[in-house]
Structure 1
Amino acid sequence: MTPLGRRLAAEISEHGPISVDRYMAECVAAYYAGRDPFGRDGDFTTAPEISQMFGEIIGLWTADLWDRAGRPQRVNLVELGPGRGTLMADLLRAARALPAFAEAIRVHFVETSPTLRAAQAERVPGATWHDDLGAVPRGVPLFVVANEFFDALPVRQEVRVDGEWRERQVGLVGDTLTFMPAGDAIRETSPARADYAATLAARIAADGGAALVVDYGYEGPAEGDSLQALAAHAAAAPLAAPGEHDLTAHVDFAALAEAARGAGTRVSPLALQGPFLLALGIAARAERLSHGLDPEARHAIAGAMRRLTLPQAMGSLFKVLVFTHKDWPEPAGFGA
């Protein structure tokens, strides 16, 4: 058993089972504390690591919204859970197409992992780091990017037993961590995600700006157990190695939207990642990147675009939602 597993098992043995959201929060904190899990040699690959086009398109989207919002003199550009800093580096390169925007932005990372902070500093040396969103300076508009951030925030689970819903917990059977009780259906909620969305939206309602959320999930409500673990790009058992595997769950975008509206922001329609990127010009960007390259390189760029946009790849599973200040213009990418 892992060190975290032994600690949780000892606690459960002494005090009884713990909630699924507590278990997930402990696992995620331990997992990210000392590792870089991204890329071919890690546990998973995110869209920015697949192609520079992803971050570039988001950079142009952000610059366009800033331009149409009247070009505020200062903007805090914030990324939540910024991984290796790849997305932000690509975003900033694209932002230089509008020099006034590049001059206006100040980059802030919300990141607690020392390992990932070091990787981010290599790619975006001018950034400022914070442990939480509340530490980001106030008083100027925010552009917030949250790519695969909310899926790592903990979910609560309930299980239906004899027609009644009861909280699902993590207990011990012998020396083995086990979900309990057993039932015939499971449903999930995430107060942590709703609270974070409300906090984020309240900042935007107060200071102006927008938040772009990209993640995998559904427009709820829905039943089912979406808690999953990944190790070396393959599925693993969520209780098998606490703190050593990536642990996530699908995002209920309807719950995020409700929390954001309640905090005073305008919320976009929910878009699929594929149509969103295509509407913003990723095909033209792929064509321009391919110009003058050899066939193998062109094939790689086309393959990355397909992976990001096709429904059978990431194009439908991943969704896009935007919270915007009510006085700001409509964001691009959500048209018919």
Structure 2
Amino acid sequence: MTPLARLLVERIREGGPIPVADYMAECLLHPLHGYYTTREPFGAAGDFVTAPEISQMFGELVGLALAQAWLDQGAPDPFTLAELGPGRGTLMADILRATRGVPGFHAAARPVLVEASPRLREVQARTLAPHVPLWLDRVEDLPDRPLFVVANEFLDALPIRQFQLTPEGWRERLVGLADGTLAFGLSPPLPQVPDSPAFRAARPGDLVEHCAPAQVAVAATLAPILRHGGFALFIDYGGWRSKGDTLQALRSHAFDPPLARPGQADLTAHVDFEPLAALAPHHHYTTQGEFLLRLGIAARAERLARNLTGAALENHRAAHRRLTDPAEMGSLFKVLALTRADAPLPPGFAA
């Protein structure tokens, strides 16, 4: 039993079962035993690899898409160039490198990283040097000016609640105890549940997930965009409507039972994009594969391949496939863009 598991068992013994959202929050962000506060999760030596770590092409194309959207909206100066959940800073570093040649972009940009972990902030500072971004703890603290923001695999780590429709009505899935160890169970019937299309369309036996922090984060990015202009880009795995249990743990690049090692495995859930899109007056939605293909990843991959041979060339081709192939990340990952209704069509999306 991990140190955090012992603390959770004691908490449940004293206060009763806890929502899945509370369990996720403790596992990921406990100040002493949380996953993100105690370890380096990214890369081959960690537990998972994100798209910016797979290939520089991802960050380059995202950066150029942000820059083109900035130009299309009249090149506001100054503007906030933000990333939510920036990991090791690789994506922002690639964005800044790829946009060096865009006239006026760097002079007008005010880089901001929304990152609560002091340990990860230190890593990001080293990655981004000599750039010195502003760090914020919360999305709600973003400056009130034009905002061009990207969030890659940020929403999937936000705590979710899970609800199941039973013959007696809706019940919440909780984490409790069975024979002294952590186990899932259900609450008594609830008087009400969140109102969303997923809940309204549910049938008996269905499990529906709800992520209030994701809606708060999206609303917070929309506030400056609706007032001053900009473009929000959310890239994550998930789908258009929540259905079924998607809570998963990753440890050493392999799936792990979600309750097995609290604090020692990454916990995520698929993103339900439908209620997030509904928050914006205008949105665009596509798969990661289609998004990158429209941005020109095939041509970029071909240019980079000209200078590669042997294993480096094979790795490059494999990275290209992994990012775009429908059997890999191409279809599993979705891209949601949020803009004002009067904004031009963002790069990477079909009319």
* Equivalent in the alignment of 2:350: 335
The CA distance in 1 between the partners of 2:276 and 2:338, in whole Å, is: 10
Counterpart code for 2:5: G
The CA distance in 1 between the partners of 2:141 and 2:220, in whole Å, is: 12
1:233 equivalent among 232, 242, 253 = 253
User: Are 1:286 and 2:305 counterparts?
Assistant: no
Q: How does 1:163-312 map to 2 (within 5 A)?
A: 163-181=168-186, 184-220=205-241, 222-259=242-279, 261=280, 265-268=281-284, 270-312=285-327
State the Cα distance separating 1:247 from its structure 2 match: 0.2
* Equivalent in the alignment of 2:149: 144
Contact between 1:19 and 1:170, CA under 8 Å: does it hold in 2? yes
Counterpart code for 1:27: C
TM-score after normalising by structure 1: 0.94
The CA distance in 1 between the partners of 2:56 and 2:84, in whole Å, is: 18
Contact between 1:273 and 1:309, CA under 8 Å: does it hold in 2? yes
Q: How does 1:50-69 map to 2 (within 5 A)?
A: 50-69=54-73
Contact between 1:273 and 1:308, CA under 8 Å: does it hold in 2? yes
Contact between 1:210 and 1:322, CA under 8 Å: does it hold in 2? yes
Counterpart code for 1:121: A
CA separation of 1:185 and 1:328: change in aligned 2, threshold 3 A = closer
Counterpart code for 1:333: G
Q: How does 1:308-319 map to 2 (within 5 A)?
A: 308-319=323-334
The CA distance in 2 between the partners of 1:292 and 1:233, in whole Å, is: 30
Q: How does 1:102-121 map to 2 (within 5 A)?
A: 102-121=106-125
User: Are 1:25 and 2:25 counterparts?
Assistant: yes
How many aligned residue pairs are there? 329
2:133 equivalent among 127, 136, 140 = 127
The CA distance in 2 between the partners of 1:149 and 1:33, in whole Å, is: 16
State the Cα distance separating 1:90 from its structure 2 match: 0.6
The CA distance in 1 between the partners of 2:60 and 2:336, in whole Å, is: 18
TM-score after normalising by structure 2: 0.90
Q: Map Cα deviations across residues 316-335 of structure 1 (whole Å, 9 max, x no partner).
A: 00000011123322101111
* Equivalent in the alignment of 2:99: 95
Counterpart code for 2:14: E
* Equivalent in the alignment of 1:82: 86
SS of 1:99's partner is coil
State the Cα distance separating 1:293 from its structure 2 match: 2.3
Contact between 2:143 and 2:224, CA under 8 Å: does it hold in 1? no
* Equivalent in the alignment of 2:77: 73
CA RMSD of aligned residues (A): 1.6
The CA distance in 2 between the partners of 1:185 and 1:240, in whole Å, is: 24
State the Cα distance separating 1:80 from its structure 2 match: 0.4
SS of 2:151's partner is strand
SS of 1:96's partner is coil
Contact between 1:36 and 1:115, CA under 8 Å: does it hold in 2? no
The CA distance in 2 between the partners of 1:242 and 1:7, in whole Å, is: 10
Q: Map Cα deviations across residues 270-323 of structure 1 (whole Å, 9 max, x no partner).
A: 100001101100111111112232233222211111100000000000000011
The CA distance in 2 between the partners of 1:163 and 1:295, in whole Å, is: 62
Judge which range, 305-314 or 63-72, deviates more. Answer: 63-72
User: Are 1:4 and 2:10 counterparts?
Assistant: no
CA separation of 1:9 and 1:49: change in aligned 2, threshold 3 A = same
The CA distance in 1 between the partners of 2:73 and 2:48, in whole Å, is: 36
The CA distance in 2 between the partners of 1:173 and 1:298, in whole Å, is: 51
Unaligned runs of at least 5 residues, structure 1: none
Contact between 1:110 and 1:131, CA under 8 Å: does it hold in 2? yes
Contact between 2:139 and 2:217, CA under 8 Å: does it hold in 1? no
* Equivalent in the alignment of 1:158: 163
Give the share of equivalent positions with the same residue, in percent: 52
